[in-house]
Structure 1
């Protein structure tokens, strides 16, 4: 049995809609006064059609029927005495399928219901076709973007990238567009985790370079690296600001940027021993803020390979933190030196634990294995360099400091390469 919800709006609404519908064998589920609760009534009773009488059309009617079309679409018939041409056009646009002006008759109800139902079915079919065309268009755009990502990441041709997508689509029983969207999202979060992770590393590298300049170790070279680090932080914050969701990550990124704006002026000009502690404290704050952002991105990406990228990225930070602490222990004295030593021991323990974990995991490419082997060798050099600078001061003190500086940069380069390889890896992109 066909069911209906009846509503009335405005004065002088006297049509016997409910009685005539029941006489036709249509079940009247409910009657509503006014339009304010029309949507709630339809959701609650789920009628096959909505039929009503309004004395004069108004915004309330059109807003209600539009909301109905958006949330619980069904055929809608409205009887009215309002012959305004503008209102008739609005009625058609607002989800009313039969807008009958001064034309009520019990004998007309059934054909009008059939008309409204036919128009509703046609409207739904057209909307489905539009959704299908829109979906195919969006899928095509996604496929092109995903192919571009794969071509850059894996250095493959357009045809090979498409074949990778097709294979993944068949194996996962998903549309090409769905697989492509997954790759786009994976690449988006992988870049975010990598960029935010770089901010962690740069927070420690800045202090290391500041200390090397203070010790007058290859002053021009260290200043160039310091300037480069400052530019990288600016660039990463700007890029993350453009690519990350402001409602989701905006507050975390704002904290990073706020801390950076406080730290940045301290890095200008000639280093001073009295500024080491304030600079390091702000750098530690930047590390904390960047770590929170990175962890949130990893969690939001909800892809296990992001954890590998985060670990590899954290190794970059630990390499610079260890070198920084070795320098601070040498240049500071008393409680500060002992504090730096404790932090250095912790950084060493965490770095070696992370390196062991990365070595124990199944890897997707020979390049990652080779880079890990290189990183292990460079780490040994950093350890040796840190031990050498603790020897009593002598004529070769400057050379020993230069050795630690070079080893820490080589280790950083290895983990920068490793992080990039994880970011580009098929495991990361395909999840």
Structure 2
């Protein structure tokens, strides 16, 4: 299953302008190792993109299954761009960094990072890391959808209760008779009971 994953890596340019910049050289080497590890593990690395204002558009075109942020944790701009770019279409985000300062972990996870990996990058670790990240993301999405469904059901129930109350007050119906009337109207119009109830409340509000 993991072999078919379409992965985009968000990382700085590998080109090192200053041959004496040891930090840039180390970052470039680690970034190369990550990409080689992905390929060696059979993952589908579809693109490497910079973290810029065009990231959302590019991700929208590529439609990756998973995003890897390859950056030092102090480079928060990269993470912010990725989070903004995936706000409308959530995807698992894995962040690899050499920075051992774990004070940023909580903020990163709160921002939407599925896995935050500090140092110790090796080809052997990549597959289990991404497997766990995908499993965790799917579990969280399942919980998110379940919560959204429960909230939606609660809102619909309140709308139906308001509409029943209106019918009971204006037409002197029992609660069951009011609900039956809403249900018949919904069946006749091919709508859900909550939709009919909301339309009736809208009309009532309009007429006063």
TM-score, with structure 2 as normaliser? 0.81
> Whole-Å Cα distance in 2 between the matches of residues 150 and 84 of structure 1?
62
Alignment partner of 1:122: what SS? helix
Alignment partner of 1:133: what SS? helix
Q: Residue in 2 aligned with 1:168? A: 185
Q: Which has the higher strand share?
A: 2
In the TM superposition, what are the counterparts of 1:353-368 in structure 2 within 5 Å? none
Among 61, 77, 84, the residue aligned to 1:44: 61
In the TM superposition, what are the counterparts of 1:16-415 in structure 2 within 5 Å? 16=32, 17-191=34-208
**Is the CA contact (8 Å cut-off) linking 2:56 and 2:86 kept in structure 1?**
no
**Is the CA contact (8 Å cut-off) linking 1:140 and 1:177 kept in structure 2?**
yes
TM-aligned CA deviation for residue 19 of structure 1: 2.7
TM-aligned CA deviation for residue 90 of structure 1: 1.3
The 1:96–1:111 alpha-carbon spacing in structure 2 relative to 1, beyond 3 Å, is same
The 1:80–1:180 alpha-carbon spacing in structure 2 relative to 1, beyond 3 Å, is same
Q: Residue in 1 aligned with 2:17? A: none
The 1:58–1:183 alpha-carbon spacing in structure 2 relative to 1, beyond 3 Å, is farther
For CA contacts below 8 A with separation 6 or more, give which structure has more relative contact order: 2
The 1:186–1:58 alpha-carbon spacing in structure 2 relative to 1, beyond 3 Å, is farther
Looking at CA atoms only, which structure, 1 or 2, has the larger radius of gyration? 1
Q: Give the total of aligned pairs.
A: 191
Q: Residue in 1 aligned with 2:16? A: none
CA RMSD of aligned residues (A): 2.2
**Is the CA contact (8 Å cut-off) linking 1:4 and 1:48 kept in structure 2?**
yes
Q: Residue in 1 aligned with 2:7? A: 4
Give CA deviations for 1:163-210 in whole Å, capped at 9, x if unaligned: 11122233334332222222222222333xxxxxxxxxxxxxxxxxxx
TM-aligned CA deviation for residue 64 of structure 1: 2.8
Give CA deviations for 1:84-138 in whole Å, capped at 9, x if unaligned: 4441011111111111011311111111110111011001100110011101110
> Whole-Å Cα distance in 2 between the matches of residues 143 and 77 of structure 1?
43
The 1:138–1:166 alpha-carbon spacing in structure 2 relative to 1, beyond 3 Å, is same
> Whole-Å Cα distance in 2 between the matches of residues 61 and 89 of structure 1?
16
> Whole-Å Cα distance in 2 between the matches of residues 185 and 83 of structure 1?
57
> Whole-Å Cα distance in 2 between the matches of residues 147 and 126 of structure 1?
31
Q: Residue in 1 aligned with 2:20? A: none
Q: Which runs of 5+ in 1 are unaligned?
A: 192-431
TM-aligned CA deviation for residue 27 of structure 1: 2.0
The 1:2–1:106 alpha-carbon spacing in structure 2 relative to 1, beyond 3 Å, is same
Q: Give structure 1 regions of 4+ aligned residues with deviation exceeding 4 angstroms.
A: none
The 1:180–1:85 alpha-carbon spacing in structure 2 relative to 1, beyond 3 Å, is farther
**Is the CA contact (8 Å cut-off) linking 2:97 and 2:118 kept in structure 1?**
yes
> Whole-Å Cα distance in 2 between the matches of residues 144 and 89 of structure 1?
41
Alignment partner of 1:156: what SS? coil
**Is the CA contact (8 Å cut-off) linking 1:51 and 1:77 kept in structure 2?**
yes
Q: Which has the higher helix share?
A: 1
TM-aligned CA deviation for residue 35 of structure 1: 4.8
Q: Which runs of 5+ in 2 are unaligned?
A: 14-22
